[in-house]
Structure 1
Amino acid sequence: MTALVRAAHAGPAGAVTLLAVLLAVAERLEPGRVLLVGAAVLAGQLSIGWSNDLIDAARDRAVGRTDKPLASGALRPRTVRIACALALAATLPLSLACGLASGLAHLVLVASAWTYNLGLKATAWSWLPYAVSFGLLPVVVSLAGAPPEAPPAWVPIAAALLGVGAHLVNVLPDLADDAATGVHGLPHRIGPSRLPAAATAVLVAGSVVVAVGTRFTLASVVALGCVALLAAVALVGRGRTPFLAAVAIALVDAVALLAAQ
């Protein structure tokens, strides 16, 4: 069971689900609706994580990824295929139970993430599924309300920038392994020396969008100040410092987005 959870990319799946639940709470959805949104997002994220490891199993074995249960032999492909199919099957009714508009938006979100797994990750368009899926997340939550309402335009824009920044940061530790197995997405084309600065710039842009969208509330200004300090650290730091600073900026952006709801 532990191996199956690891193969689902439990950390990212849990983080996205938690963000969706917190957005739902911030939108003041009823408790049952909050749980429904959380269940739909979790099912979709599990399908995304398991499909990723299934598709990448051969590449992971080629570079000796012992942390990957499928690559190490700790988990049978059939087990993951069944789990992925069940999660995907659950995603459809759970999504539509949140409302037609919300459900359709969530299905597009999940389909977008699957396109990354199915091949876009190895192209210059690797950023696009992250922009679409993260940008749609607050839309899914807002449309799940009664009555359903679309969020202000700046909210999905800020979320999309957060997603692209998260993509650039997330790939940093795996650049060498990816390149060795033929994966040349946008982060690989930017290059390891320029990637921390690029990720920082995108995440800072997200912070600016939140500040402007909220008309510079105290919370957004404080967040922007924290981001500016972290950006300076990311740009002058050495070793893993730029990576850690970019991760911290992503977290500040997520909190600022939540506070703005």
Structure 2
Amino acid sequence: MLTVLRAAHPGPTAVVTAAGCALAAAAGRGVAGTVLVGAAVLAGQLSIGWSNDWLDRRRDRAVGRADKPLAEQAVAPRTIAVAAGTALVLCVPLSLASGVAAGLVHLVAVAFGWLYNLWLKAGPFSPLPFAVAFGLLPAFVTLGLPGEPWPAWWATVAGALLGMGAHFANVVPDLPGDLALGVRGLPQRLGPTGARVGAAALLVAASLVIALAPGGRTAPLAVAGLGAVALALAGGALMARRSVRRAAFAVTLAVAAVDLVVFVAQGSRLV
């Protein structure tokens, strides 16, 4: 079972699921609504993670990815394929349990995750599925509220920027192997430096949108968030004197964490 879970990209799956739950709770979905959001997001992310590893199994084996169970042949490909399909099927009723509009929005987001795995991963439009899927997460949350309101524009934009920033950051460690196998998404085309700069720029842009847009006024937490981002950038500049690669990685993680915390804290302002 643990081997199967390892093939589902458990880290990103857990982070996105927790973010969805936190947004739902902050937006007022209540205990039952928050549980429904979490279950739907978890099912969708599991299906995307498992399908990604199944589709990439030959590439991962070719570059010796020790962190991928299918590359190590530690689990049968059929097992992962069945797991991905089962999670996708479960995602449909779990998404629609929040309402037809909310459910359809979430299913579109999951579909773009699959579209990335199937087609867009290796092309210049690789950030698009992340922009759409993460940009729609706030809508999945708010459309489940009474009256089915759409989220404020800033939440959609911030979600899209966070998603694209995560994509750029996630690609950086795998760049050599991707390029060797002909995977040329936008971050790969920009190269290691371009991918790191792109990740930082997108996440900092998300910081500004989250902090400055809600309600036309800046909350104390948003000010603190911008201060934390500024400190992370300053610390990264100091670290870069010793290692640009480590500095970029540390800054990216720090800014992403700050963005996520402040975004969730702004949950009551989603509508």
Q: CA deviation at 1:39?
A: 0.6
4+ long deviations beyond 3 Å:
232-236
Determine the C-alpha separation between the residues in 2 that align with 1:233 and 1:179: 31
Q: CA deviation at 1:195?
A: 2.3
Q: CA deviation at 1:66?
A: 1.9
Q: Could you tell me whether the CA contact under 8 Å between 1:13 and 1:45 is conserved in 2?
A: yes
Q: Which moved more, 1:220-229 or 1:71-80?
A: 220-229
Determine the C-alpha separation between the residues in 2 that align with 1:102 and 1:53: 28
Quote the residue 1:90 is aligned against.
Answer: 90
SS of aligned partner of 1:71:
coil
RMSD: 1.1
Quote the residue 2:69 is aligned against.
Answer: 69
* Alignment gaps of 5+ in structure 1: none
Quote the residue 2:28 is aligned against.
Answer: 28
SS of aligned partner of 1:232:
helix
Q: Could you tell me whether the CA contact under 8 Å between 1:204 and 1:228 is conserved in 2?
A: no
Quote the residue 2:200 is aligned against.
Answer: 200
Q: Could you tell me whether the CA contact under 8 Å between 2:237 and 2:247 is conserved in 1?
A: no
Quote the residue 1:258 is aligned against.
Answer: 264
* Alignment gaps of 5+ in structure 2: none
Q: Could you tell me whether the CA contact under 8 Å between 1:211 and 1:221 is conserved in 2?
A: yes
Residue type at the aligned position of 1:66: A
Residues 214-241 of structure 1, C-alpha deviations (whole Å, 9 max, x = no match): 3211111110111122223445622312
**How many residue pairs end up in the alignment?**
261
Q: Give the counterpart of 2:223 among 205, 210, 221.
A: 221
- What aligned pairs does 1:8-157 form with structure 2 within 5 A after superposition? 8-157=8-157
Q: Could you tell me whether the CA contact under 8 Å between 1:162 and 1:203 is conserved in 2?
A: yes
Quote the residue 1:246 is aligned against.
Answer: 252
Determine the C-alpha separation between the residues in 1 that align with 2:39 and 2:75: 25
Determine the C-alpha separation between the residues in 2 that align with 1:172 and 1:202: 14
Determine the C-alpha separation between the residues in 1 that align with 2:36 and 2:194: 41
Residue type at the aligned position of 1:252: V
Q: CA deviation at 1:212?
A: 1.7
Determine the C-alpha separation between the residues in 2 that align with 1:121 and 1:231: 29
Q: Could you tell me whether the CA contact under 8 Å between 1:233 and 1:242 is conserved in 2?
A: no
Determine the C-alpha separation between the residues in 1 that align with 2:206 and 2:251: 15
Determine the C-alpha separation between the residues in 1 that align with 2:200 and 2:237: 8
Q: Could you tell me whether the CA contact under 8 Å between 1:204 and 1:231 is conserved in 2?
A: no
Determine the C-alpha separation between the residues in 1 that align with 2:235 and 2:116: 30
Residue type at the aligned position of 1:50: W
Determine the C-alpha separation between the residues in 1 that align with 2:13 and 2:198: 24
Residues 110-162 of structure 1, C-alpha deviations (whole Å, 9 max, x = no match): 00111110121111111111110110111101111123211110111011101
Kindly indicate whether residue 206 of structure 2 is the aligned counterpart of residue 210 of structure 1. no
Determine the C-alpha separation between the residues in 2 that align with 1:166 and 1:244: 13
Task: With the length of structure 2 as denominator, give the TM-score of the two structures.
Answer: 0.94
Determine the C-alpha separation between the residues in 2 that align with 1:132 and 1:14: 19
Task: With the length of structure 1 as denominator, give the TM-score of the two structures.
Answer: 0.97
Determine the C-alpha separation between the residues in 1 that align with 2:174 and 2:233: 22
Q: Could you tell me whether the CA contact under 8 Å between 2:139 and 2:156 is conserved in 1?
A: yes
Determine the C-alpha separation between the residues in 2 that align with 1:190 and 1:234: 21
